[in-house]
Structure 1
C-alpha cells in the first residue's frame, strides 16, 4: 500500500483532501520544501500572501492564476498529470489547500530550516490538525 493510499484511508475516503495533500506534497518536494516554496512566492511578488501562511494570523487567499504565474506551467502540469485532472483544476486545488498546509507546517510562524521529510510532515497533519 502506497503512502497516498494510507493517507486516503486516514481521510476516510475524502478523495479531494487526499488529492490536495498529494498535490501540495509533490509541489513542496519540487520546490525544496517550505523554505523553497516561500522563496519562490517571494520572488514572484507575493511576499505578503506567503508570509500570511507562515505567520500566525489569518491566511490570505491565492488565486489559481497566481499559482500558475508563480510556479509556471511545468509544476502545475506535473500535478495535473499525477492527479488525472486538467492543469486549471490542479491550480485551483493547489490554491485552495496550499495556504492551509503551509500554515500547518509552520505552526510557530517560522519556516523550517531544511526541506526535511515533506511527505512525513504533511502526513502528520492528518492527525486531526488540518482536516479535523
Structure 2
C-alpha cells in the first residue's frame, strides 16, 4: 500500500480521520518531536520560502499545495529518510505523502485562522486519529 492510499482514507465524513493511519501517526510524531512543536515545524517551511503556502494552511481560505521537493528542502534528507523508514516506504513516497497531508493537518489544527496555543493542537490532532 502506498502513502497516497493511506492519505486517501485520512479525512472521512465531518473532517474526522480514520484511525490506524500510519502516515497520520508519523505526522503527529513529527509535530510532537520537533523543536518548537507545530510552530517550529512550520518555521522550517517558512525559512525555505514557503511562507505563503504555510499562511494559506493556517488561514481560512484555500490551502496552497506544496511539492515533495518542498518537503525535502524543508525537512532535509535525514529527517525524511527516518520518517520513510518508520513507514516502510521510499524517501520519495514519504515526501509525497507529507506534501499531501501536511497542509490538511495544519488546516484542521487552525480552524479559526490561527495556530492553537500550547498543547491544544495536539489534542485536536489526537481526535483526528481516533
In the superposition, the TM-score normalised over structure 1's length comes to: 0.76
For 2:114, the equivalent position in structure 1 comes to: 110
Q: Which runs of 5+ in 2 are unaligned?
A: 1-16
For the 8 Å contact 2:18–2:128, the answer to whether it is kept is: no
Provide the rounded CA distance (Å) in 2 between the counterparts of 1:83 and 1:120. Answer: 23
For the 8 Å contact 1:42–1:50, the answer to whether it is kept is: yes
Task: Quote the offset at 1:120 in angstroms.
Answer: 3.8
Runs of 4+ residues deviating >3 angstroms: 117-120
For 2:102, the equivalent position in structure 1 comes to: 98
Task: Quote the offset at 1:108 in angstroms.
Answer: 0.8
User: What is the aligned residue count?
Assistant: 113
Report matched runs for 1:47-66 at 5 Å.
47-66=51-70
For the 8 Å contact 1:33–1:118, the answer to whether it is kept is: no
Q: Which runs of 5+ in 1 are unaligned?
A: 1-9, 128-132
In the superposition, the TM-score normalised over structure 2's length comes to: 0.77
Task: Quote the offset at 1:42 in angstroms.
Answer: 1.1
Coordinate RMSD, CA, aligned: 2.0
For the 8 Å contact 2:115–2:121, the answer to whether it is kept is: no
